[in-house]
Copies of this chain bind each other. A is one copy, B any other.
C-alpha cells in the first residue's frame, strides 16, 4: 500500500514489571496465597502491556483466568523444573487467554523475558497457543478440543507408566461446543482422575452474556450427570481456589471439574463484565485498548500490584518501560464487513423469509444492524457451528432462506459434513465466512482461514464467491440471494484494505466469469479478494516502467470457472500467474490451472501458481505477507520471472 494513504498513529509509552521483580517476589518468604495474588497482579500488568504493544489480543478472558493460572503454576504444577515434557501438564482449551499464560511463564522464567515484546509477531508468541512455544502443550484457538486432548495425554502417560496430572482450562461459552460434551463420558468410564478441568466461568462470551447466547442451565447437574466430580469456587479468591484443589486431592479415580466463578476483564474496573450496560455488547473480548483505556487500565492494575507488594513488605514493584510501535492506519480502505452489514439488511428488507444465524460473532460478522432491525429473524446459536448449520438445514426445508455466519476457519471445517448434508437436500442456504484468508496475521493459524476453499469447494450445489470491493459484496450477495438457485458460501476478507481500483460500472455477475482489473499483454494474473489483487496491482504498476504490461483479472468465483471465459481472459498471453489467498493445494489457482490444461492451448501457456504452502505464520500483516511471499515485493519478483520466461532474451532489462 502506498505510504501517502497512511496515517501514523502516535505511539504510547507502556510499562511492565520485569522478570527480576517476579523473582524477587517468588524468592521472598511469604505465605503462598499472598505470593500468588501479587504474582497475578503483576501478570495482569504484563498481559495488558503485551496486548497493547501487539495492538490486539484477548484482554477479558486473560484477566478472568489469571488468578487461577497463577495459583496453578505456583502451587499445583509439579516438576516444572524438569521441563515441559516431564512436568504436570497445563493447557488452555479456549486459548484466547494465551497472553495471560505467557505473562505467567515469563514471570516464572520459563519463557525468555524479551518475548514480552513479541506477542503476535513473526517467530514471537502467537495469538493463540502453539506447541512450538515452550510449555505450550496443545494447539488451541478452535474451541472444545481440550478434554479430548487431555484424555489422549492421560492414556499415553498410563501406557508409558508415567503419572502426571493434567489441568485443562476451558471457557464457559466454549461449553456450547458439542465436542465438549462428546468428550466427557469416556473420561469418567476410564476413571481418568488425573484430569482436572477448570471452567473459567466468566459468564461472557465474545459479544455478550453466555446466558443470552446459549444458556448453560444447571452446569453442576449436567457435569455430574456425565460422571464427573464437580466443584465450584470463586476463581478470583486464592484461598477458595486452594481449598478447592485440596478437596480434589483424594479423588483419584474420577475426572474432576472445577467451575470457577470469575469476572471477565477482572482487575480493570471498566473492562469488567458487570460494568457492561444493558443492551451493549462486551467491548474487551478482543482487539487493543485505546491510549486512554491503556492509561486508565494500567493505573488501576499498578495500584493493586503496589498495594500487594507493600502489604507483603516488598516495597514498590520495579517497572520497565516499552513503547507501543506506531501502527500504520491506511485511509480510504475497503471495508467488506461494513458493506456486508448493509447488504444483509437490504436483502432482508426484500425477503421476509430471510433468517440470520450466528455462532457468537455478531459484531465480527457484521450482524448488529440486522439483529437490531429483525430480532425475530435473528437466531444466535452460540459457539455451536454444527447445530447452527443443521438448524439452517431444517429452516430451509420448511421454506425459510437461512444466512449462516461464522469465521471462515470455523464455518468451513467444524460443520463440514453438516454443510454437505444440507446441500445434499437440494435446499438453499447462504453461508458467510468472515476473517477469510491469511490476514489478519495476529490471531495465528487457528484463525487464518486458508483451507476453506478446498474443504467446501467440491460440494455439489455449493457456489463459492469472494468479493474484492465493497461494491462487489453487494453485487455478489444480490446474486447469491436472488439469482442463484443453489446454496453458496460468501468468503469475506475482514481486514480493511486500500484498494487501488474500483468495481466496473454495469458489471454483469455470472458464476465462472470474472473481470479485467487492468489490462496488459505480456502476462495474465488471475486472483480474487481485496489485498491479493491490490498487492498484485501494485506489483504490476511497479513493473510497468520496465515495459512489461500485465493483465490483472479478478475471478470472484472460487470453485467455478467457465472454460470459454478463461480462454478469452488469457487471450494471446502465453504466461499465466494464478494467485491464492489460500493453500496453493486446493485453492482457486489449482482449479484454474487444471482448466487451462483441459483447454490444451497451442502454443502452450506457461502457468505458475502462488499461494500459501505451509502452516500460516503469526505476525503483523506485513510480516505474514512477506513470509509467505504474497507482499508486493515478492509478487513483483514472481511476476518479473513470469514475464522473463516469455522473453528469454530480456531477463536483464526486466531485472
Contacts and interface: CB of A to CB of B under 8 A. Distances in A.
Contacts of A392: 152
B377 A451 contact: no
Interface in A558-612: 559, 582-583, 585-587, 589-591, 593-598, 600-609
B446 A421 contact: yes
A56 interface: no
**Which has the most chain B C-beta neighbours within 10 Å: A148, A409, A601?**
A148
A280 interface: no
A226 B181 CA distance: 11
Interface residues of A, number: 120
Interface in A165-185: 176-183, 185
Interface of A: 130-132, 137-140, 142, 144-145, 148-157, 159-160, 162, 176-183, 185-186, 188-189, 214-218, 221-222, 224-227, 353, 355, 376-377, 379, 381-382, 384, 386-400, 402, 409-410, 413-414, 416-418, 420-421, 424-426, 445-446, 451, 454-455, 457-461, 559, 582-583, 585-587, 589-591, 593-598, 600-609, 613-615
A168 to B, nearest CB: 10
Contacts of A182: 176-178, 181, 384, 386-387
Contacts of A221: 221, 224-225
Contacts of A145: 386, 390, 393, 418, 421
Contact of A421 (B139, B216, B457): B139
A394 B613 CA distance: 26
Nearest to A444: B424
A590 B585 CA distance: 10
Given A149-B397, A155-B355, 14 more contacts: A140-B421, A148-B418, A149-B391, A149-B394, A155-B391, A159-B376, A178-B180, A188-B217, A189-B215, A420-B451, A454-B457, A591-B594, A594-B609, A600-B606
A382 to B, nearest CB: 7
A454 B396 CA distance: 26
A152 B398 contact: yes
Nearest to A386: B179
Contacts of A218: 225
Given A159-B400, A178-B179, A391-B148, A185 B594 contact: no
A605 B607 CA distance: 14
B425 A139 contact: yes
Contact of A395 (B153, B414, B608): B153
Contacts of A355: 155-156, 159
Nearest to A398: B156
Nearest to A131: B425
Contacts of A424: 130, 139, 445-446, 615
A391 B602 contact: no
Given A145-B393, A176-B182, A226-B222, A598 B603 contact: no
A148 B387 contact: yes
Nearest to A612: B460
A286 B573 CA distance: 57
Contacts of A418: 145, 148, 179
A329 to B, nearest CB: 31
Contacts of A458: 451, 454-455, 582-583, 585-587
5 contacts: A139-B424, A152-B396, A182-B387, A451-B458, A460-B614
Contact of A559 (B582, B585, B593): B585
Contacts of A455: 416, 454-455, 458
B178 A178 contact: yes
Given A226-B222, A455-B416, A594-B594, A397 B155 contact: no
A589 B151 CA distance: 39
A217 B460 contact: no
B222 A217 contact: no
Given A188-B217, A590-B594, A387 B183 contact: yes
The 6 closest A-B pairs by CB, nearest first: A152-B394, A178-B178, A178-B182, A148-B390, A181-B181, A156-B398
A402 B597 contact: no
A153 B446 CA distance: 32
A420 B413 contact: yes
B594 A597 contact: yes
A565 to B, nearest CB: 17
Nearest to A146: B390
Given A222-B226, A386-B182, A394 B460 contact: no
